[in-house]
């Protein structure tokens, strides 16, 4: 099986588990809870009246949360089951949204215009083999003067394994062959019986920034953050607010970046 096909199968398998999980709290969302976190709300700012494209939207909770804040939203994801569910949730919540089933590299073939905002977040880039092609698609889909925003797990975390203490386990740098994972759980439900293989690629922060610049984007800011909403490794420690950090805040665990097209 090709890596992208394997990843599509994984996300189709994860969909019902995620729908039922406390992590996503779909019932709370239907009652009005936002799925967005304070970092993206503060750093992206007011979206009212703007068109917004959400790449790798999973089953659409963040996409629909931006719609509730006044954006005209479109979501794109490679998982057919996720997109079907996103459409159902939009109908159930009375939220206007358009959803397309496509991989990132084909996103510009399923939407017919550019957007004021292109957004992506949390665990997205590792599924993409070619970061330069990703940046070209992003730049093509942002209106002249429009904004791209990403908040993402910091790539430095990828070099550390999941043992009780941080130990170097892999290279920080990109290579063409994917890292193959066999997982028996999911971040939303660690005890779930999931056994599909997944294929991931490491993209250093310098490669991400350079790809966007080379694609014609102007970087407004790049922030590195010490805390994240989920434990990415077993050796992370939880603070008094419920966020997870590296011991002694020794490593960044998130980064966020905003850019615009001239």
Q: What's the pLDDT band for 41 if we cut at 50, 70, 90? A: very high
Domain with residues 3-261, CATH architecture: 3-Layer(aba) Sandwich (3.40)
* Sign of the dihedral through C-alpha 38, 40, 44, 50: negative
How many other CB atoms sit within 10 Å of the CB of residue 229?
15
- Residue 102, classed as helix, strand or coil, is coil
- The Cα-based distances of 161 to 165, 166, 198, 243, 252 in angstroms read 9, 7, 16, 20, 16
Average pLDDT rounded to a whole number, residues 161-166: 73
pLDDT of 21 higher than 90: no
Q: Please tell me whether residue 125 adopts helix, strand or coil conformation.
A: helix
Distance from C-alpha of 232 to C-alpha of 234, rounded to nearest angstrom: 7
pLDDT at 146: 98
Residue 40 has pLDDT above 60, yes or no: yes
Given pLDDT bands bounded at 50, 70 and 90, which one contains residue 185? Answer: low
Q: Tokens for 14?
A: 């994860």
Span 166-188, mean pLDDT? 68
Given CA atoms 235, 237, 242, 243 in this order, what sign does their dihedral have?
Answer: negative
Q: What gap in Å lies between CA 177 and CA 170, rounded to an integer?
A: 13
Give the 3-state secondary structure of residue 161: coil
Per-residue pLDDT reduced to its tens digit, 69-98: 999 999 999 999 999 999 999 999 999 999
Q: Indicate if the pLDDT at residue 170 is higher than 90.
A: no
Domain regions of the chain by residue span: 3-261
Q: In what order do the strands lie in the sheet with 237-238?
A: 227-228, 244-245, 237-238
pLDDT band at 6 (very low <50, low <70, confident <90, very high): confident
Mean per-residue pLDDT, 176-189: 65
pLDDT by residue (tens digit) across 210-239? 999 999 999 999 999 999 999 888 899 999
pLDDT at residue 190 greater than cutoff 80? no
pLDDT in tens, 119-151: 999 999 999 999 999 999 999 999 999 999 999
Flag whether pLDDT at 59 surpasses 80.
Answer: yes
Q: If you search the block for the tokens 């750093």, which residue do you land on?
A: 43
pLDDT at site 23: 79
**3-class state of residue 232 by DSSP:** coil
Q: Return the minimum-mean-pLDDT range out of 12-21, 80-89, 184-193.
A: 184-193
pLDDT band, residue 196 (cuts 50/70/90):
low
Nearest 10 degrees: CA dihedral of 107, 202, 176, 136? 30
């Amino acid at each position: 099986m090709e890596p992208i096909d394997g990843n599509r199968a994984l996300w189709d398998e994860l969909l019902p588990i995620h729908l039922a999980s406390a992590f996503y709290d779909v019932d709370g969302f239907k009652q009005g809870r936002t799925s967005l976190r304070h970092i993206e709300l503060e750093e992206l700012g007011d979206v009212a009246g703007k068109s917004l494209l959400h790449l790798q939207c999973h089953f659409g909770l963040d996409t629909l949360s931006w719609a509730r804040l006044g954006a005209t939203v479109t979501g794109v994801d490679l998982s057919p089951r996720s997109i079907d569910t996103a459409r159902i949730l939009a109908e159930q919540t009375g939220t206007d949204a358009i959803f397309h089933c496509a991989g990132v590299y084909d996103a510009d073939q399923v939407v017919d215009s550019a957007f004021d905002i292109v957004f992506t977040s949390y665990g997205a880039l590792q599924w993409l083999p070619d970061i330069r092609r990703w940046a070209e698609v992003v730049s093509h889909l942002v209106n002249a003067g429009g904004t791209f925003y990403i908040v993402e797990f910091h790539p430095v975390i990828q070099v550390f394994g999941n043992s009780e203490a941080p130990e170097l386990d892999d290279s920080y740098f990109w290579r063409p062959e994917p890292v193959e994972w066999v997982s028996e759980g999911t971040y939303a439900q660690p005890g779930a019986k999931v056994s599909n293989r997944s294929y991931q690629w490491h993209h250093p922060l310098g490669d991400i920034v350079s790809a966007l610049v080379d694609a014609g984007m102007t970087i407004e800011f790049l922030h590195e953050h010490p805390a994240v909403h989920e434990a990415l490794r077993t050796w992370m420690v939880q603070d008094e607010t419920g966020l997870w950090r590296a011991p002694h805040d020794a490593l960044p665990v998130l980064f966020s970046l905003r850019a615009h097209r001239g």
